[in-house]
């Protein structure tokens, strides 16, 4: 009974921001999207900047009323029952928004008070959360002295203070170094094991492949496609891809020569084929002499380029 398990149901969801002044024009950030999120899954919104991911997340967080369509979160209307919905959500905003003047512990305290927890309850929970975020020895440290990775982990710990059923993460690892990203992914994976439903936006393909059971690719306020990473790859691209690089300016010309199976990007050509080596042999036969040639397995990045390629170039 998938319907019973749907924690979040969106149908025809739209968000239009009114014009800022009389000269401005209204901006439709989300142009009608449908999706469902089920209990316990990790669901991703993938898309280029301006695709409408963050606007969708704000509606899911119960702080932005949809302009049109319906949205049910935990069976409730996030506008009419905003308070009850938000009490059961955890939100990790893109920019942390921690109070850098306060200590790690104080940040958890004030946030816990927002949820109506007692000081004693927050203190008890803070120990667990700091351990989870691997910040046990930083409790009394001011946030301004923490690294970016530590701040992000603290923001996640803070979002867990009310034991949320759903955790919303807006670009959770943007700006972090590789080690910090892996630590964070590990923590998020643990949360998922504990049954927390994760909803995240990202424009990192490896992150989406690592974390998401299911994802939607958004572009220009619409959903371009939906599925598991594997399904999307099988649906939109071949098993392998041949990457060819040429001196600047020659891409267009070679692209014309090789025909429709080739995608021309600013820095390289992509030739999608089930057998990449064979494609390379064909190219060599056709007299093409690339600077470098690389055959690799296709991934979500290729799906992303296929589905949103046009808007990447502007």
Interacting residues toward other proteins by CB under 8 A: 17, 58, 61, 63-65, 82-84, 86-87, 89, 91, 93, 95, 97, 99, 101-102, 106, 109-111, 113-116, 162
Q: Are strands 269-273 and 262-264 parallel, antiparallel or unpaired?
A: antiparallel
Cβ neighbors of 233 (< 8 A, separation 6 or more) are: 298, 299, 300, 302, 303
Q: How far apart are CA 254 and CA 61, in angstroms?
A: 48
Closest CA to 274 of 238, 234, 247: 238
Minimum distance from CB of 135 to other proteins (Å)? 18
Minimum distance from CB of 111 to other proteins (Å)? 7
Nearer to other proteins, 99 or 226 (CB): 99
Q: How far apart are CA 236 and CA 305, in angstroms?
A: 10
Query: DSSP characters for 103-153?
Result: BHHHHHHHHHHHTT--HHHHHHHHHHHHHHTT-GGGTTSBGGGS-HHHHHH
Nearer to other proteins, 17 or 189 (CB): 17
Nearer to other proteins, 29 or 237 (CB): 29
Nearer to other proteins, 63 or 294 (CB): 63
Minimum distance from CB of 197 to other proteins (Å)? 17
């Amino acid at each position: 009974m998938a319907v019973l398990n749907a924690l979040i149901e969106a149908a025809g969801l739209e968000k239009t921001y009114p014009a800022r002044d009389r000269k401005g024009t209204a901006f439709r950030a989300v142009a009608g999207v449908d999706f469902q999120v089920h209990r316990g899954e990790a669901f991703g919104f993938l898309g280029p900047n301006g695709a409408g991911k963050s606007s969708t997340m704000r509606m899911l967080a119960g702080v932005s009323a949809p302009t049109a369509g319906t949205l049910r979160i935990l069976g409730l209307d996030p506008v009419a029952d905003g308070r009850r919905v938000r009490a059961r959500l955890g939100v990790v905003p893109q920019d942390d928004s921690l109070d850098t003047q306060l200590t790690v512990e104080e940040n958890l305290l004030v946030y816990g008070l927002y949820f109506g927890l007692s000081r004693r309850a927050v203190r008890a929970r803070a120990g667990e959360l700091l351990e989870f975020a691997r910040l046990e020895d930083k409790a009394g440290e001011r946030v301004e002295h923490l690294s970016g990775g530590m701040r992000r982990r603290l923001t996640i710990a803070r979002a867990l203070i009310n034991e949320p059923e759903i955790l919303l993460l807006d670009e959770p690892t943007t700006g972090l170094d590789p080690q910090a990203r892996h630590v964070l992914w590990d923590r998020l994976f643990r949360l998922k094991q504990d049954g927390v439903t994760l909803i995240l936006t990202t424009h990192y393909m490896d992150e989406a492949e690592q974390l998401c059971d299911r994802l939607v690719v958004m572009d220009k306020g619409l959903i371009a496609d939906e599925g598991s990473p594997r399904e999307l790859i099988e649906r939109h691209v071949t098993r392998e891809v041949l990457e060819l690089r040429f001196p600047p300016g020659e891409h267009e010309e070679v692209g014309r020569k090789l025909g429709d199976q080739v995608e021309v990007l600013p820095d390289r050509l992509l030739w999608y084929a089930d057998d990449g080596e064979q494609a390379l042999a064909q190219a060599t036969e056709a007299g093409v002499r690339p600077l470098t040639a690389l055959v690799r397995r296709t991934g979500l990045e290729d799906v992303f380029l296929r589905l949103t390629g046009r808007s990447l170039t502007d």
